[in-house]
Chain A
C-alpha cells in the first residue's frame, strides 16, 4: 500500500519543513502532499488550521514554496502534490502556477474548495501542463457523481473517510466500506483514503477486499512534528505494516 504523508509547508519553521520533506522522502513516502497555507481553511480541523496559521506567521507564501521546490528540483523520489485552497492559487495566477509547477516537476494539485462543478477551467490548465487535479470524494458522494468525476479524474482519488474535517479519529464510520466500494466501482485509478489515520491498526477494521491503494495522514503527522519528534520515527510505524 502506498503511503502519502501530508505536511504544511513552513511548519513548524521554514528550515524544519524542508528538512522533514527530505526525511519523509528517504523514509518510505510514495507521494508527499505539501500544504499551502490559507487564512481560512474551511475543510480542515484545528491541528492543520493551527499549522497553517503558524506557517503564515513564518512568512510562508506560495511563491516561497515554489522557490524552495525549484532549488531542490530532482532531489525527491516521491511524487510531490501541492494541496491548498483556491484563492492563493488564483491570486498567484493559475496559468503561471501550472507552468511553473510543470518546470519544477509537481505531480498534482489537491484543491479542497474546487468541486467538479467548478473545476473545468482549472483542470484544463493543469492538464495542459501534464499535472493532475486530484478528485476528492466523500461518504455522501453518490455513485453517479463519482462516475462523473471518473470521466475527468487522473492521478489518484482522495477518498474522505468521514463526513467531517481533517483530524485524527479513533475509529472509522460504519459506512466506510460502502464509500470505498462505490469509489472502486466508479474509478480505474488508485484510491487513497484520508481524514483520520493515526495508526496502521485502523486498517484492520476495513475488510481486505475493500481496502484502498494508499493512505493519507496529515493531522497525526503534524502532531508528531509539533511534539518535536523526527518524522523518520513516524514513518517507521507505517512502512512494512500496511
Chain B
C-alpha cells in the first residue's frame, strides 16, 4: 500500500508550505506514540480526567421491541460530552512532546472545539478554534463553553460558513503558525498522517467494546453501527473489528431532509471520488469538481467529504454505509429518551435510527452495538425548533 493511502484513497494533497509540518508530525508519531511513558500518561488522562472506560449499556425496552440485543457504547458519558476528547487529549499530549505551545482546530458542531479547548487548558497550551459563522449561531452553547475554557473562537465568514470553510481557514492559519502550533485535526480525514493519527486515538472505542462484549456475552458482536460525518467515531469503533469477518460493520450517513434534490451529507452513498482538504476520497461535488454544500439536522455530520479509510472499507465492501434522513434521526432521538432514559446527540441518533428502522436486517437475537458517540445537550435549540419541545 502506498504511504498515506487506504487502497486508492487518502494521500497528502496540500500546499508545499504544509508539507514540512505534516512530515514533522509523522516523525513525532513514530517517535512518541510507541513510547510507554506517553501511553501511560495518555491512559491516565483518558481514565482519570475524561472518564474511560465508558460503559456498554444494554437497552432492555428497545431490544424487546426489535427482537435483538441492542447495546450502546456510551461515548456520550465522556468529559466534554462526546468521543472527541479521546483524540484531543492524545494530540495535545503529542503537541507537548513536539515542543508546541498552541493548538489550532476547526469545529463543526463545536464538540471537537470544546474537547480541544479542554485538552489545551488541561495541558497548558493556548488554543484557537475556527468555526463556520453559521455554526457559531446554531451551536452557541458550545461557543460559550470554548470561551469559558480560555479558547479564542474565530467565526469563519467565507464559503458556506460551515465546517468545510472552518477547515480551509484553519489550514491557512497553520501555514503561518506551524512553528509553535499543532493543528489538532478533529476527524479521521484530511491529509496524511491525520487519518492514521485520529484513528489510533479513537480505536480505544472499538477495543473496549470488543472486550466488553466478550466479557458480557462470551463472543464478538454480530454488528457494530456508527454515524459517519468525517468518520472518527465510526473508524474508532470499526477498525478493531475489520479483521473479524463475523462482525457486520455498518456506517450511517446523514441523508438530509429526504426531499428530492435536497442537500445531504452522504458522501459515501451518493458522492464521487475527488480531492478536498488534502485527501482523495468520496465527495459531494458537481460535475465541474466544485464542492457542493452539505446539509444535516446534526451539525456534526454536515460535511461534504469523509475519511479515506471509510472510502476504502466501502470500496472493498468490508463495511456498508446507509443514509438516514433528519426525520428518522429525530424519531430515534425521542425513542431513546423515552424508552431508555438517554438523551443522545443528533449525530449518534442517525446510527440508532438505522437499527430501529431496519430490525429485519439482523437475525433474531443478534447482538448489535451502536456507538453512542455523544450526548444531546448541545442540540436542545435544534430540538426545540424541530420538535416544538
Contacts and interface: CB of A to CB of B under 8 A. Distances in A.
Interface stretch (A10-18, A81-89, A125-133, A231-239): A81-89
B289 A113 contact: no
Interface size grouping (class) on chain A: 35 or more
B159 interface: yes
Nearest to B292: A39
A69 interface: no
Interface in B147-206: 158-159, 164-165, 168, 171-172, 175-176, 178
What is the predominant secondary structure among interface residues of chain B facing chain A?
Answer: mixed
A71 interface: no
A40 B159 contact: yes
Nearest to A86: B275
A49 interface: yes
Given A46-B158, A113-B14, A62 B288 contact: yes
Contacts of A46: 158
A87 B20 contact: no
A38 B290 CA distance: 6
Contacts of B290: 38-39, 56, 88
B16 A137 contact: yes
B168 A140 contact: no
Contact of A112 (B15, B20, B276): B15
Interface residues of B, number: 32
A58 interface: no
B274 interface: yes
A116 B172 CA distance: 20
A40 B175 contact: no
Interface in A43-93: 43, 45-46, 49, 53, 56, 61-63, 85-92
Contacts of B171: 42
Nearest to A142: B20
Interface string B13-54: 111110111000000000000000000000000000000000
A229 to B, nearest CB: 25
A91 B278 CA distance: 16
B79 to A, nearest CB: 32
A225 to B, nearest CB: 20
A49 B157 CA distance: 12
Nearest to B291: A39
Contacts of B275: 85-87, 90, 113
Contacts of A90: 274-275, 289
Contacts of B317: none
A115 B19 contact: yes
A43 B172 CA distance: 7
Contacts of B12: 115, 117-118
B11 to A, nearest CB: 6
B65 interface: no
Contacts of A91: 274, 285, 287-289
B159 A164 contact: no
A115 B178 contact: no
A82 to B, nearest CB: 14
Contacts of B158: 46, 49
A115 B176 contact: no
A212 to B, nearest CB: 17
A43 B175 CA distance: 9
B297 to A, nearest CB: 23
Interface in A157-191: 160, 163-165
B15 A141 contact: no
A163 B178 contact: yes
B292 to A, nearest CB: 8
B274 A42 contact: no
A15 B178 CA distance: 41
B16 A138 contact: yes
A138 B288 contact: no
A137 B15 CA distance: 9
A163 B278 contact: no
A46 B158 CA distance: 9
A85 to B, nearest CB: 8
A9 interface: no
B176 A163 contact: yes
A143 B184 CA distance: 28
A104 interface: no
B17 A87 contact: no
Contacts of A40: 159, 164-165, 168, 276-277, 291
A118 B13 contact: yes
B288 A114 contact: no
Contacts of A117: 12, 19
Contact of B175 (A49, A113, A163): A163
B178 A63 contact: no
A114 to B, nearest CB: 6
Interface of B: 11-17, 19-21, 158-159, 164-165, 168, 171-172, 175-176, 178, 274-278, 283, 285, 287-291
Given A40-B291, A49-B158, A53-B159, 16 more contacts: A39-B291, A40-B164, A40-B277, A42-B15, A42-B168, A43-B15, A86-B275, A87-B275, A87-B289, A112-B16, A113-B15, A115-B15, A118-B12, A138-B17, A140-B20, A140-B21
26 contacts: A38-B290, A39-B159, A42-B277, A43-B15, A46-B158, A62-B288, A86-B13, A86-B275, A87-B274, A87-B283, A87-B289, A89-B289, A91-B285, A92-B289, A113-B278, A115-B14, A115-B15, A115-B16, A117-B12, A118-B11, A136-B15, A138-B17, A140-B178, A141-B19, A142-B20, A163-B176
Interface of A: 38-43, 45-46, 49, 53, 56, 61-63, 85-92, 112-118, 136-142, 145, 160, 163-165
